[in-house]
Structure 1
Amino acid sequence: MPCTSGVFGGKSFGTWVTWFLLGGDLYTAYTFIAVPAAMFATGAVSGFFAVPYTIVLYPVIFFFLGRMWSVAHRHGYVTPADIVQGRYRSRWLSLAIAVTGILATMPYIALQLVGIQAVLEVAGLGGSSAWARDIPLLVAFAVLAAYTYSSGLRAPAMIAVVKDLLIYIVILVAIFYLPAKLGGWTGIFDAAEAKMATPSAADPSVPTGVFIPNAKQAWAYSTLALGSAMALFMYPHSVTAALSSKDRWTGRRNAAILPAYSLLLGLLALLGFVAIKAGTKPIGLDGQPNPQLVIPQLFEDHFPSWFAGLAFGAIAIGALVPAAIMSIAAANLFTRNIYREFFRTDATPQHEARISKIVSLFVKVGALLFVLFLDKQNAINFQLLGGLWILQTLPSIVFGLFTRWFHRWALLAGWAAGMIYGTVIAYGYCSACTVKHFGSSLATMPIFGITAYIGFTAFLLNLIVAVVLTFILRAAKVSNGSDITKQSDYFVDADTPGLIQPDVAERIR
């Protein structure tokens, strides 16, 4: 499997191709399946936070994306762990970044499997027996594995254009046709408000969901949005797509025009409320309610079969494209920052490519395990669980682009503290789910006593540990390693020669 970086494929991705690539990368089955399902099931806090989070995201990436692209171009960096290794010369900190990236990618790919599974299940593939119920999931896994096993970044980049055009057509038709058919938006919002106010089946003392967050829910809503915004461009697949642009300013231009996708996301989220008004019954082949089926079922119920098929195809492609990029990015992390660093320092590009293909398959098997053993009733938690983990890499990656003040061992200790705390809390906490572990992304924040995104709380702990230990280690004059980058490296553009070595050029071609 080809590796990718700022010089991937001759670094020929311009503004529009990069825009489609980033859109195809960032707007996934999370957008088409999980967000509307959360809106349908429990309302605004668990679903609509995704809209402000994508709005907050783009000023954040505009701030650091140019510097990341420049230093990657100058030194031939391919992964986030490469950047950290060059900045701190710490193979252990680089290893932590690589392992976290691979781990966090698995539940995100799992969400793509859930998306394809939902389409196949509504289409009627599978049955009610225990083994037959998993047929759509296994077919989704086989399709995903076959598609991503041999595809480089150019294939999903080109398909992303087709995928986005299909999605825009489907959503624009749905957002005008369905409200007109159902009597208008006033009735849709009234129906959603009424459903969210009804007593919950799990606990009649609390309502089903939240139509408009109140003051007590503000922290949950805001930390989900802010934490997700900070996390998204820490994912290795997001970095892969961003660094594939042809120059420093392509990524920043895309940060200015990508908010067009936020409009699309808002419309998609509202389809969850449309399904409430439409009386959609997302019942799985096992006869049990499954909110993840709500959007495919909505299209199945209210559109001609040919248009429903078009929508199903758009959703399936919308899962395959980002999953391909995720698999490539995870494989690159392993081969470059784990395998070559710790096991085979003399590995040839051809050998690395073979290892990458094997690793990409194992990553997808890991994603399949997430789907099989975790609660799928609120699939948006797959993305939020990955966000919890990947957010702990932000201090090392982003802060490292601007300053060398943080001590490398303090960053490693902060990462460990955030990972351990976040994983333990997420593993054991669940307010209303059928599978107890990793069933919720919200928990009470220590000391403050407010409900917040677990990933955001873990990030704050990470940052506190990193700052405190940096003061201590600097006072003790503990070596902070060497930095092979210099200030000017963070401002170079495509016309500045890179320091990339011939073997790396061959590897990423």
Structure 2
Amino acid sequence: MAVVVFASLLGVSLGLVLLGRRGHAHASLRDYFVASRQFGSVLLFFLSVGESYSIGGLLGFPGGIYAHGVSFAVWFVGYMLMGMPIGYFLNPQVWRAARRYDALTLPDLFVGRFRHRPLELVVTLSAIVFLVPWGAMQFVGLGVALGGLGIGLSGWPLMAATGVLAFVYVALAGVRAPAYVSILKDILMIVAIVLVAVAVLHRVAPHDLAPGMAVVSGASTLTPEQERFAMSTIVFQGLGLFMSPLNMAFLFTARSARAIRRAQVGMPLYLFMFPALALVAMWARVDGPPLASPNDAFIGTARMLLPEPLIGVVAAGAALSGLVVLVGLCLTIGPLVSRNLLTGLSEAGQKRGAQCVTVGYLVFSVSAAILTTSLITRLNNLTYIGVTQFLPGVLAILFARRANPGAIALGILAGDALGCGLFLTATSVWDINVGLIGLVLNAAIAWGGTMLLPGPAPDERPATC
């Protein structure tokens, strides 16, 4: 029964993709990648939430609490709370810049402002490199979710099948596919979280879990070291919450800056799911079944407490939460290669090239997911370390009069090298988030280079629609 429910809900999602394709079967390049900048606040809301609240939150958040205790929740929820008001004020400015420079990708913003090919290459290559862990994270989560729910699928065949489905969505409807599927995904994900949390509440009261959770996590309060890490992570990832090339691509689909502000206002409502996920993780850690990995905290609890038909609902919600982000990543990686890395392709060539790149990206991400043994949150952290380094450059595009493009490029490279080097070698610097250390170096280089050698003033051409 779980398989029937699961397959039926995926069939509904495919129907939504076909609905989004109607009238756009021969979409232009701009319609395919940014929906001709036609999305209103409702579609943009679901699309943006699909990027921010994905399988990383569904599995990574409870997995982090299961592995590290309740202290993990402080920085995970904190950076979202900090990032949302930043996005409310900054994202409309980014959209105006994209409209001005007719940008379809994040590197297009840098090209439109600076006309500097080395900077374009640095931004493009950095974006591609740091989107790979994000794709792998979706496949890891999909493997955990669907394999753990016991619907008869597991391992690399499951990941390969999911990759094929993601490509079908991309090929059929472009960016309209994740936009329409996000509506169904959000409904299913909320239902799944509520179902599992209610099932836990039938077993135990929340206050009965706290003493046991304090014992297994080793402490009931944050240590000074944990406080430094939590606060620096909140600042760093709050600043980087909307710097992802994927988020930028979704922003570019908006009809207006006002539509973006309206979508941003509703996003904090989704934070209600985190207390429910924390409850599930605490029960799994204190009273739940033995788990092979912390990533299984939510799925193991669902499988133990829910009847089979509802397991199919949970499986579909988990699958679509990963698929929406995967499709968005494909639509981001594709034009990065065919439009910004390569030059001189026609619009048709860029579209075909992006679809070819999508196949390669999905294959590579599946391979990375099979080989990785990391917590989902570790992959999430690695992506944030990279994409947040775009912040000084984006701020320069929006607000600086004569920024130096060479200094911005050098700052991105230095921030990436320092942050990732410290992260991959597990080097601690006063327990401060290593990405923030890289970002400070990045900003210092960009600012110092501009002070020593100011760049050209922005082009005063009229905006293009």
Q: TM-score range by the shorter chain?
A: 0.7 to 0.9
Q: How does 1:54-73 map to 2 (within 5 A)?
A: 54-73=80-99
**Residue type at the aligned position of 1:361:** V
Q: How does 1:63-462 map to 2 (within 5 A)?
A: 63-124=89-150, 134-179=156-201, 181-197=202-218, 211-282=220-291, 289-340=292-343, 345=344, 347-376=345-374, 378-429=375-426, 443-445=427-429, 450-462=430-442
2:240 and 2:387 in contact (8 A); partners too = yes
For residue 440 of structure 1, what is the aligned residue in structure 2?
none
Q: 1:98 to 1:45 in 2, by over 3 A?
A: farther
Q: What per-residue deviation string (whole Å, max 9, x for no partner) do you get for residues 282-312 of structure 1?
A: 2xxxxxx212122111101001111111111
Which structure has more helix as a fraction of its residues? 2
Distance in 2, matches of 1:356 and 1:193, equals 49
Q: Structure 1 residue 211: deviation in Å? A: 4.7
2:251 and 2:260 in contact (8 A); partners too = yes
Q: Structure 1 residue 162: deviation in Å? A: 0.7
Q: 1:298 to 1:18 in 2, by over 3 A?
A: same
| More displaced 10-residue stretch of structure 1: 260-269 or 328-337 | 260-269
Q: What per-residue deviation string (whole Å, max 9, x for no partner) do you get for residues 407-452 of structure 1?
A: 21111111111111122222222xxxxxxxxxxxxx422xxxx112
Distance in 2, matches of 1:7 and 1:275, equals 41
Q: 1:374 to 1:425 in 2, by over 3 A?
A: farther
In the alignment of these two chains, the number of paired residues is 439
For residue 24 of structure 2, what is the aligned residue in structure 1?
none
Distance in 1, matches of 2:316 and 2:207, equals 31
Q: 1:424 to 1:262 in 2, by over 3 A?
A: same
Match of 1:463 among 432, 443, 446: 443
Distance in 2, matches of 1:259 and 1:367, equals 30
Q: Structure 1 residue 264: deviation in Å? A: 2.0
For structure 1, the residue ranges without an aligned partner over 5 or more in a row are 198-209, 283-288, 430-442, 475-479, 490-497, 501-509
Q: 1:226 to 1:367 in 2, by over 3 A?
A: farther
Q: Structure 1 residue 260: deviation in Å? A: 0.7
Distance in 2, matches of 1:22 and 1:176, equals 27
Q: 1:485 to 1:366 in 2, by over 3 A?
A: farther
Q: 1:71 to 1:32 in 2, by over 3 A?
A: same
Q: What per-residue deviation string (whole Å, max 9, x for no partner) do you get for residues 1-59 of structure 1?
A: 97558993243311111111111122111111111111111123444422111111111
Q: Structure 1 residue 330: deviation in Å? A: 1.4
Distance in 1, matches of 2:37 and 2:410, equals 36
2:206 and 2:279 in contact (8 A); partners too = no
| More displaced 10-residue stretch of structure 1: 396-405 or 15-24 | 396-405
Distance in 2, matches of 1:182 and 1:276, equals 14
> Does 1:24 pair with 2:27?
no
**Residue type at the aligned position of 1:178:** V
Distance in 1, matches of 2:132 and 2:172, equals 19
Q: What per-residue deviation string (whole Å, max 9, x for no partner) do you get for residues 120-147 of structure 1?
A: 32134789xxxx8544444444444444
Following TM superposition, the consecutive aligned residue runs of length 4 or more in structure 1 with deviations greater than 6 angstroms are none
**Residue type at the aligned position of 1:467:** W
Q: Structure 1 residue 173: deviation in Å? A: 3.0
> Does 1:8 pair with 2:34?
yes
**Residue type at the aligned position of 1:348:** S
Distance in 2, matches of 1:451 and 1:26, equals 26
Q: Structure 1 residue 333: deviation in Å? A: 1.6
Match of 2:61 among 35, 46, 65: 35
Distance in 1, matches of 2:164 and 2:434, equals 33
Q: Structure 1 residue 485: deviation in Å? A: 4.3
Q: 1:42 to 1:149 in 2, by over 3 A?
A: farther
Determine what percentage of the aligned residue pairs are the same residue. Answer: 20
Q: 1:45 to 1:331 in 2, by over 3 A?
A: farther
Q: What per-residue deviation string (whole Å, max 9, x for no partner) do you get for residues 437-487 of structure 1?
A: xxxxxx422xxxx1122211111111122222222224xxxxx2452246x
| More displaced 10-residue stretch of structure 1: 462-471 or 141-150 | 141-150
Residue 272 of structure 1 aligns to a residue in which SS? helix
Q: What per-residue deviation string (whole Å, max 9, x for no partner) do you get for residues 170-206 of structure 1?
A: 2223333312x22211112222212112xxxxxxxxx
Residue 400 of structure 2 aligns to a residue in which SS? coil
Distance in 1, matches of 2:327 and 2:448, equals 40
| More displaced 10-residue stretch of structure 1: 271-280 or 254-263 | 271-280
> Does 1:484 pair with 2:449?
no
Q: 1:4 to 1:151 in 2, by over 3 A?
A: same
| More displaced 10-residue stretch of structure 1: 211-220 or 414-423 | 211-220
Distance in 1, matches of 2:48 and 2:252, equals 10
Residue 279 of structure 1 aligns to a residue in which SS? coil
Please give the root-mean-square deviation of Cα atoms over the aligned residues, in Å: 2.4
Distance in 1, matches of 2:199 and 2:152, equals 30
Distance in 2, matches of 1:6 and 1:48, equals 39
Residue 213 of structure 1 aligns to a residue in which SS? coil
1:151 and 1:324 in contact (8 A); partners too = no
Residue 444 of structure 1 aligns to a residue in which SS? coil
Residue 280 of structure 1 aligns to a residue in which SS? coil
Could you state the TM-score of these two structures normalised by the residue count of structure 1? 0.81
1:3 and 1:78 in contact (8 A); partners too = no
2:295 and 2:376 in contact (8 A); partners too = yes
Distance in 1, matches of 2:284 and 2:407, equals 49
2:162 and 2:323 in contact (8 A); partners too = no
